[in-house]
Amino acid sequence: MAEEFPRLEWDQEFVFPDPATADEEGLVGAGGNLSPGMLLSAYRQGLFPWFTRRGHPYWFSPDPRFVLEPEHLHLSESLRKILKKKVFRVSFDNAFEHVMQGCSSTARRGQGGTWISKDYFSAYGELHQLGFAHSVEVWAGSSATEPSGETLVGGLYGVHLGKVFCGESMFSRVANASKVGFATLIPWLAREFGVRLVDCQQKTDYLGSFGAHEVPRENFLRQLKTLVEVPGPRAKWSAPTILD
């Protein structure tokens, strides 16, 4: 008889309400917690937490969904020139907490505050330690090839499951910093892990300029179910290889 091992918290499956029951804003429900098991179950089922009130996370699954297929990534000519000049240095998983702090402290149009509370720092920090959540850091200094004296000027973080990357938030302290991070990440994900879908969650002109587009929620969920079933590595990401 095969030995049975207890399931770890992050390996447990929590069943959420059907996303089809969401309201017009995509809200499916509130409650539960931000434990690894509940967070990962939500992502696998096409939901994500947006904010917390009175200690309860609010779970969303908007319709339509904003997504990007890596093969359709669009880079403007101006961004290609910046990438070629190597104005910035990009790293992965070197400053996860600092990236979250950057995303939390950056003012955003139409938002009076941040949804990235202390609970989110703790929850995604744990996902990072488990090898599911990852950060992209963009550095600037006297020279992008000489790290001494560099400053974190942009970045983003998200969750990687199988062949899907779920983007959570990004920030820039100087022009084009987060664009360079995003433009470096997406081709790398496709090459290294065969990622075929990037979940951008809600429509923004910023991500639309990269080729992200809206799809019906039903189509997104159908594709998600297949892609997250593909086993993916759980480990710290290595430094990105930049292709000319």
Query: Is residue 127 assigned to a domain?
Result: yes
What is the pLDDT tens value at each position of the chain, 244 positions in all? 455 667 777 788 899 999 999 999 999 999 999 999 999 999 999 999 998 888 899 999 999 999 999 999 999 999 999 999 999 999 999 999 999 999 998 765 544 446 788 999 999 999 999 999 999 999 998 555 555 568 999 999 999 999 999 999 999 999 999 999 999 999 999 999 999 999 999 999 999 999 999 999 999 999 999 999 887 888 899 878 654 4
80 and 156 assigned to the same domain: yes
28 and 117 assigned to the same domain: no
56 and 83 assigned to the same domain: no
Phi/psi at 230 (nearest 5 deg)?
Answer: -75, 125
Q: What is the CATH number of the domain that holds 87?
A: 3.40.630.70
148 and 165 assigned to the same domain: yes
Query: Is residue 237 assigned to a domain?
Result: no
108 and 224 assigned to the same domain: yes
The pair of three-digit structure tokens given for residue 173, joined into one six-digit string: 């302290």
Determine the structural domain holding residue 45 and report its residue range: 9-60
84 and 171 assigned to the same domain: yes
Model confidence, pTM: 0.91
H/E element holding 65?
strand 65-68
Q: What is the CATH number of the domain that holds 42?
A: 3.30.70.3550
User: Rounded CA gap, 159 and 105, in Å?
Assistant: 20
What one-character DSSP code corresponds to residue 131? Answer: T
Residue 213, burial from CB neighbour count under 10 angstroms (0-12, 13-18, 19+):
middle
